[in-house]
Structure 1
Amino acid sequence: MGNLDLEKFIDKQRAGWNDVAEGWDRWDAWIDECLAPVDHEIVSLSEAKSGFDTLDIGSGTGYPAVRVAETVGSDGSVVGIDLSDNMLNVARKRAVSKGFDHLNFQTCDARILPFEDEKFNTVTSRFCFMFIPDLDSTIAETYRVLKDGGCVAAAVWASADKNHSLSMPVKIMQEYPEVPSPPPPPAPGIFSLGASGELAGRMKLAGFSDIKESYVHMMWEYPSSKDYFKRLMDMAAPMRGMLSMLPPAKQAEAKEKIIDTAEKFATDGVLKVPGVALVVKARK
């Protein structure tokens, strides 16, 4: 991926996440509940505590930055970064509503962090690293801005077979010739870091040590398969992008296929779809 292609790719990512910010705001309470176990594991493994300064990479609408801010308290600080201004505007409103003066958000590219060396005690990230092109630069930058002995805790999606709520619609949409198959890792993508050892190995190459992996199980619950599709398209920028590649008639067909397939997870009219995150902890 040349420099020009890389910049176009990032611009496309930015536009995609800007486009779904309203959906993330709309479903905030639900997504917070579903992903609470992941946030808890990230904060715990980061070893954040009162008075710590923390960087959260890929904060989106404010998570897990908000949870870290609760942990470090007003004697500490949290800076959350993201490509998407629209997502961060939601996060900023959330920080104000909670009265967190020690939580701030900044729009920037995670490949070049605008912070001095050894500024942060901890670094956190939730479902961001797998989307970053030139991830090794971000990992190197993470190492640079961490204090000696500090920890990074980053969550990515585990493998596709453990996350049917995400892999099923991708598989259906890729049945259409208009939707290209994703390039294999290390190219960025939803499941590009899902294999055990993938992210851990890249952190080791950057100089990190004491590296540990843990799996976090969660349950996505939806009142109906149609509601599942709506939330998916409201929030999942990559899914929305894939669907937009299809002409209207095929979009309608793909939608019905996804809704029908989701029904297999229904019990007493409620969809319950298990999911798994892979959290990697590493120390400088």
Structure 2
Amino acid sequence: MRIYKFPILFFALAVSLFASCKKTDYLDINAGDRPPLSAKVKFINARQSVTAVNFWDFTRKVTATALQRNTATGYLDTQYGKVQFNLTEGTEPSYKASYVFGGSANFIQETNSASFAGPNGPIADFAHSLFTVKKKLSSTLNPGNIDSLILVYDDLTLPAAGRAKIRFANFSPDASKVDLTYAAGTEIFAGVAYGNFGNQTIIPYTSGKAPAVIEGLSWRTLGPFKEIDAGTNVSLLIKDNTTKAVIPLTNTALNAATFEAGKIYTVYINGIITGTPSITATIITHN
């Protein structure tokens, strides 16, 4: 499992085939009678460009129509296991991003003596989010590949009564580390660097190898959610983590927002502070 500044690769997850049946039940059914397995992936366009995009698993286009900037699909059925996800703009055939996710069906921690060619891929019958975002640095080998793909695993267990769950990501390439706070000042997530999620476990690499033991690492710690009180007219702010100055947004998504009890959300910022497209916040609902 690797988490770099960019490209950022996430992987995870212990396998469970169906909530309603045991794993052995699935294998006891004749192959022709088994329901098809697939991964459930929500595709999210968080890139800088305003050009709509399509997502692909290998050579199969999985988005029915091109996805506009700062919008998301529902959970779509995709290939699971070791998968190459690709991104194209509009009707253009060339890839703007292409990454292989996969190597194991289970959550397996890499060690200081071995590593996979890529992270674990999407898991059958589990929920995932795949974000496309702007790379911070251009690709030397492929200058046309200007975007990254970030795969995280969505913990859709419901929050406690009267609560909602949120996670926060910073996809603004010229923003410093930022905080997500209530307007009254209380921090929800702090010190979130570009291309990262609040409170995630970051896997360090030295000479291409991970430590033998990484404390706190699990699939839930890569794009983690936090419970908050549900409510309406909830106003949130983005602040510079060092100066605590408010970073002005050019939209109103975080002004008087509603976080419903029992709902699960991703909040992210993208755009840039010093030019166009300007920095904005987006709220994605998962259930």
Normalising by structure 1, we get a TM-score of: 0.27
Normalising by structure 2, we get a TM-score of: 0.26
